[in-house]
Structure 1
């Protein structure tokens, strides 16, 4: 990511009033907004335009939001994705996160809260300091300039949220982090949602960096507290 003052947001929502409301509010805050009313249109615009964040509804005609999310995450690992859902069941939230979304919001929602979520996500996506600094915690290394993680010099593709979490761990080996502490550091104190978002992202991280995710060597569970990076 660069240090542009304006960011490209793709709003994927088949209900015109909701999509237009989101567009108006984001443009007031100086975002460049693209629109799509179907999954197929969303993928076409994402491929043709440099999109930074996608606001993605789950219930779409044709290809649904979960499948769109999966394709976007595969083709654009560094893109930010916030899922919109009219359902409140935990399974829907968790499914969205498992497919690679960074955050979610339940309809109906406050446009101001969505704006805060987008800004919080963009903070996680920005380059740290603009220097070619590297954090090393064998067998891992983190390139802070490109925001890339390597294991034995092989790149592991992470979402912006996953990168932010592992960066905190590698910077603080042996420190036990409470779930709320991780939530506040990554999503911000203004986050209003299910704390399970932390557990889902940890589980996703383990599946990418651990040789045996069921018996993690690096990200340990601290029972009754949260997680820590094994020193």
Structure 2
């Protein structure tokens, strides 16, 4: 089972490091950013499973960052860390699409329980969701199945992850490095070769609909045209 990828944005260096080390010791993968702009760049690059955002940050505060993320991503859970206790701040955060608030100071066990609870809810919702229409095909990311008519074709976990990333950027370029880091864990030469093999496999599984193409955009990545 792959590690849960947490994007942590916290401008208090000492606190951020403590949270990062605590989560990593419990087998999470953590990307720590000390300001909102770096957190936004990391979000676009890595597409984390969950975001833990400090409200008050330089360059881009947590509320602004959540607003930008929610314009294109309504699902990834967002937990705010805040020392603020005013009711209006809590209301504002939930209004912007936050899933939860954790007030400082807090215990790591509390944060971990909340992270896992929100991810469990997301997985349940995804498992119950409808099939995604892809040309003549239907795709179910959670069941890892591609269906054409009544015929179902099973996908491997990696094939399903790859197709889902391409679908998230349908008719636009999905960056090679982003795919490699998110699915394979690094962008080294051997993983890049493996990714190319999986792209070829997906092309074969989608070949019965000529309107669907996975294009190689040289020097950048891939584009799913559908």
Shorter chain as denominator, the TM-score bin is 0.5 to 0.7
Q: For residue 53 of structure 1, what is the aligned residue in structure 2?
A: 50
Among 64, 69, 84, the alignment partner of 1:67 is 64
Q: How far is 1:74 from its partner?
A: 1.5
Q: For residue 88 of structure 1, what is the aligned residue in structure 2?
A: 85
Q: Is the 8 A contact 1:128 1:144 kept in 2?
A: no
* 4+ long deviations beyond 3 Å: 127-134, 143-146
Q: Is the 8 A contact 1:128 1:145 kept in 2?
A: no
Whether 2:101 is the aligned partner of 1:104: answer yes
Tell me how far apart the structure 2 counterparts of residues 129 and 97 of structure 1 sit (CA, whole Å). Answer: 21
Question: Which one is further off, 120-129 or 70-79?
Answer: 120-129
Tell me how far apart the structure 2 counterparts of residues 70 and 128 of structure 1 sit (CA, whole Å). Answer: 22
Q: For residue 76 of structure 2, what is the aligned residue in structure 1?
A: 79
Question: For structure 2, which runs of at least 5 residues remain unmatched after alignment?
Answer: 132-139, 144-226
Instruction: Give the paired residue count.
Output: 135
Whether 2:117 is the aligned partner of 1:120: answer yes
Q: Secondary structure at the match of 2:97?
A: coil
Q: For residue 209 of structure 2, what is the aligned residue in structure 1?
A: none
Q: Is the 8 A contact 1:131 1:144 kept in 2?
A: no
Q: Secondary structure at the match of 1:19?
A: helix
Tell me how far apart the structure 2 counterparts of residues 28 and 127 of structure 1 sit (CA, whole Å). Answer: 26
- In structure 2, do the counterparts of structure 1 residues 59 and 129 end up closer, same or farther at CA, with 3 Å as the change threshold? closer
Q: Is the 8 A contact 1:133 1:144 kept in 2?
A: no
Matches of residues 13-24 of structure 1 in structure 2 within 5 Å? 13-24=10-21
Q: Which has the higher helix share?
A: 2
Among 18, 32, 37, the alignment partner of 2:34 is 37
Q: For residue 152 of structure 1, what is the aligned residue in structure 2?
A: none
Q: CA RMSD for the aligned pairs?
A: 2.4
Q: How far is 1:144 from its partner?
A: 10
Give the greater-gyration-radius structure (CA).
2
Tell me how far apart the structure 2 counterparts of residues 68 and 133 of structure 1 sit (CA, whole Å). Answer: 29
Q: How far is 1:111 from its partner?
A: 1.2
Q: Secondary structure at the match of 1:54?
A: strand
Question: For structure 1, which runs of at least 5 residues remain unmatched after alignment?
Answer: 135-142, 147-231
Q: Is the 8 A contact 1:132 1:145 kept in 2?
A: no
Alignment deviations for residues 126-168 of structure 1 (CA, whole Å, 9 cap, x no partner): 146957768xxxxxxxx9959xxxxxxxxxxxxxxxxxxxxxx
